[in-house]
């Protein structure tokens, strides 16, 4: 079994990160498997070397260890371009010049019973869907034509080992088209976007169990579909509970008061952190 923790070095790690990393590490230890660390630093504007170094220090202090070298998403450009070329060969991607304001304006009033937002944000209304990749402009994003992608069957399923929704899950074509839509697979100025990055890098690292928060469960069918289209293995998934603040809100990078470094500076021990997150 191979699993991983893949933070973005865009801020200090907090208690939620500690819980996710410790959960992945513990699962690997229990299975006699391997725990990997990966830096999801595709956003070169927000990713900072000081946050990466801080993450290494925090995770080592928690008692985690991992094989070197650490894979960095920013160095996977060749793999991302190859994956986009595969999707292009299947005629499943297209360039998109729409801004968020354009998408909001074009979406209009949603139909009754049809969701307005999905795991990729506001569901794209398909404004640029007819454009070929040959029409790509420097400021364009690249989207997946979901309706076409869902025709490339037989459709896969995935197995969840987490506590909230364990068992086998099938992809729902109607939900994928109406409730997810044409997701972004490459953003302006980046080799790829999150959904494609995570599938390509998990494949490159032979990840057999994806360990991450329950907030990403609804995005998992996107990743399973991309793996299916790229003809790569579909891993098992383990979506764990989220660490929340007193108001019940999921912790975010801006929650510096709950940064692991601050707990370290205040004299906490790694066991104190485990206790704080319920391990």
DSSP states of 18-39:
HHHHHHHHHHHHHHT-EEEEEE
Please give the distance of CA 103 from its chain centroid, rounded to a whole number: 22
- Write out the chain's pLDDT in tens, 279 residues: 999 999 999 999 999 999 999 999 999 999 999 999 999 998 888 889 999 999 999 999 999 999 999 999 999 999 999 999 999 999 999 999 999 899 888 876 555 556 789 998 899 999 999 999 999 999 999 999 999 999 998 999 999 999 999 999 999 999 999 999 999 999 988 889 999 999 999 999 999 999 999 999 999 999 999 999 999 999 999 999 999 876 666 666 555 658 999 999 999 999 999 999 999
Question: How far is 145 from 135, CA to CA, in rounded Å?
Answer: 16
DSSP 221: H
Report the 3 state secondary structure along 186-215.
ECCCCCCCHHHHHHHHHHHCCCCEEEEEHH
Token representation of residue 35: 């725990």
Question: Is the Cβ–Cβ distance between 94 and 142 less than 8 Å?
Answer: yes
């Amino acid at each position: 079994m191979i699993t991983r923790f893949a933070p973005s070095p865009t801020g200090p790690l907090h208690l939620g990160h500690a819980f996710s990393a410790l959960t992945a590490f513990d699962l690997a230890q229990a299975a006699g498997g391997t725990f990997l660390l990966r830096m999801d630093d595709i956003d070169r504007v927000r990713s900072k070397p000081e946050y990466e170094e801080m993450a290494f220090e925090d995770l080592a202090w928690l008692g985690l260890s991992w094989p070197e070298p650490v894979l960095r998403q920013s160095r996977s450009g060749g793999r991302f371009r190859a994956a986009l070329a595969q999707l292009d060969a299947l005629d499943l991607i297209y360039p998109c010049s729409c801004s968020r304001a354009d998408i909001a304006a074009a979406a209009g009033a949603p139909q009754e019973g049809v969701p307005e937002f999905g795991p990729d944000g506001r569901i794209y209304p398909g404004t640029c869907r007819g454009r070929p990749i040959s029409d790509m402009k420097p400021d364009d994003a690249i989207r997946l034509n979901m309706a076409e992608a869902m025709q490339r069957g037989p459709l896969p399923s995935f197995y969840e080992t987490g506590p909230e929704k364990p068992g086998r899950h099938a992809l729902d074509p109607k939900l994928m088209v109406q409730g997810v839509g044409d997701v972004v697979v490459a953003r302006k100025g980046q080799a790829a976007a999150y959904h494609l990055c995570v599938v390509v890098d998990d494949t490159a690292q032979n990840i057999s169990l994806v360990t991450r928060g329950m907030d990403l469960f609804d995005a998992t069918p996107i990743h399973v579909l991309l793996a299916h289209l790229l003809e790569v293995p579909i891993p098992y998934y383990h979506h764990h509970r989220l660490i929340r603040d007193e108001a019940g809100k999921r912790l975010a990078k801006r929650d510096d008061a709950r940064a692991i470094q601050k707990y370290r500076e205040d004299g906490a021990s790694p066991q104190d952190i485990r206790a704080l997150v319920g391990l």
